[in-house]
Amino acid sequence: MRAREFGIQIFALFLLITVMAACTPPNSARGVVDRFIEARYILIDNQQMQAVCTGLALDKIHEEMKLTEGQPIDQSTRKPVVHYSLEKTRGEGDKMTFLFKARIDVPEGGTFKKFWMITAKKDGDVWKVSNYSEYD
Q: What's the rounded Cα separation, in Å, for the pair 113 and 91?
A: 25
Beta-bridged to residue 125, according to DSSP, are: none
H/E stretch holding 91: strand 81-92
Rounded Cα–Cα distance for residues 36 and 24 (Å) = 14
pLDDT per residue, tens digit, the chain (136 aa), is 555 554 454 444 333 333 333 455 768 999 999 999 999 999 888 899 999 999 999 999 999 888 877 777 767 677 889 999 999 999 989 999 999 999 999 888 899 999 999 999 998 899 999 999 999 9
**Domains defined for the chain, CATH in brackets:** 2-135 (3.10.450.50)
Give the predicted TM-score (pTM) of the model.
0.77
SS3 48: helix
- Which of 122, 119, 118 minimizes the C-alpha distance to 94? 122
Residue 39 is classified by DSSP as I
